[in-house]
Amino acid sequence: MPGAGPAATAVLGFGPRLQRAMALNGPLCVGIDPHPGLLSAWDLPDEASSLDRFSRTVLEAAAGRCAAIKPQVALFERHGSAGLAALERLLAAAADAGVLTIADAKRGDIGSTMAAYAQAWLADGSPLAADAVTLSPYLGFESLRPALDLAAVTGRGVFVLALTSNPEGAGLQHAGDDGDGGSVAARIVTAAADENAARRSADGWGPVGLVVGATVGAETVARLGLDLAAVAGPLLAPGYGAQGAGVTEVAATFGAAVPAALVSSSRQILSAGPDVARVRDAVERSVEDLRSLAGRA
Ligand SMILES: O=c1ccn([C@@H]2O[C@H](COP(=O)(O)O)[C@@H](O)[C@H]2O)c(=O)[nH]1
């Protein structure tokens, strides 16, 4: 079983490392989602053996041009153990290339099982260790404690679902809205802010980020009374690109918190493949598009 090595406590935390990467390369996070339709468009069979080629092409195109990559775990998992092995190789190759990784696994369970998920994604020496992992808080924010604690020890991070980019999320995430911070989403925002306040060092952001869809819109953020800037952590923003949000929507949704927005795009970039130069061009177009967010707060 992997464990957090003693040397891990000395590393710069995920928050400051991500801040540094965003300062250098801008706020784009390139998603690696090997959908069957994309594999086919890339002339690759829908098999685990295609995943290395797909992932390595995207990594090569993205390295040094974005803040992080975000492999979608489900699209590796659907190929079974061979798919997860390809994901392990991608995570190792990204670490070698100095590219931050966010495993989009959306894990969440009772604490005793959560400890195993934390070990899998956040422990030093785990074959699946990423720089950060996405978590689902719907068994209770506190059920995530093993991951919150291990991330802090190993210098990794978590992104907790708060307001997701899909329209179906609203029914659950807006529940309890009394305009005074009583909604489910508001409680998650407050819990993440409290956690970071307890963990933050002088180096920068705390280890707890949130997922807030770029599609959510300013009206919802205001109506739910969310203070996203108070999180003092990164805000992963899917929904840009294929789901219809553009730079205007990102700026509107995040408002004063826009410097914390790590804007994720998968299909819009991936559909430019299989030629690595074309994927690189697509990455650069998104980087350019998002450049206007700098200094918008
Ligand atoms: O609220 C959420 C949380 C996660 N996602 C994931 O992000 C990417 C988006 O892909 P696109 O092709 O850029 O639409 C995908 O992996 C989702 O599972 C999200 O979309 N919304």
- Any ligand 1 atom below 6 A from CB of 215: no
Ligand 1 atom at minimal distance to the Cα of residue 243: 14
| 212 Cα to the center of ligand 1, angstroms | 11
Q: What average pLDDT does range 258-268 have in this prediction?
A: 98
Catalytic residue among 106, 107, 156, 199: 106
> 274: burial class by Cβ within 10 Å (0-12, 13-18, 19+)?
middle
- Any ligand 1 atom below 6 A from CB of 265: yes
Is the Cα dihedral 160, 162, 165, 166 positive or negative? positive
* pLDDT at site 203: 79
Contacts of 65 (CB under 8 A, 6+ apart): 25, 28, 280, 283, 284, 287
Query: Which of 29, 32, 33, 220 to mutate for ligand 1's pocket (most ligand atoms within 8 Å of CB)?
Result: 33
pLDDT exceeds cutoff 80 at 202: no
Helix (H) or strand (E) run with residue 103 in it:
strand 100-107
Which pair of tokens denotes residue 231?
A: 């999180």
| 101 Cα to the center of ligand 1, angstroms | 15
- What is the complex's ipTM, to 2 decimals? 0.99
Ligand 1 atom at minimal distance to the Cα of residue 70: 16
Q: Taking Cα atoms as reference points, which of 264, 228, 231, 226 lies closest to residue 22?
A: 264
Residues 12-52: tens digit of each pLDDT: 999 999 999 999 999 999 999 999 999 999 999 999 999 99
Residue having the nearest C-alpha atom to atom 16 of ligand 1: 72
- Residue with the larger pLDDT of the pair 8 and 119: 119
- Any ligand 1 atom below 6 A from CB of 57: no
Q: What average pLDDT does range 194-204 have in this prediction?
A: 87
Residues 141-191: tens digit of each pLDDT: 999 999 999 999 999 999 999 999 999 999 999 999 987 789 999 999 999
Query: Which of 69, 266, 283 to mutate for ligand 1's pocket (most ligand atoms within 8 Å of CB)?
Result: 266
Which pair of tokens denotes residue 132?
A: 């950060």
pTM of the model: 0.96
Residue having the nearest C-alpha atom to atom 1 of ligand 1: 164
* pLDDT at site 10: 52
- Any ligand 1 atom below 6 A from CB of 262: no
Could you identify the residue written with the tokens 């690189």?
A: 280
| 245 Cα to the center of ligand 1, angstroms | 12
CB contact at 8 A, 88 and 127: yes
Is 70 marked active-site? no
Residues 46-102: tens digit of each pLDDT: 999 999 999 999 999 999 999 999 999 999 999 999 999 999 999 999 999 999 999
Which pair of tokens denotes residue 75?
A: 């699209």
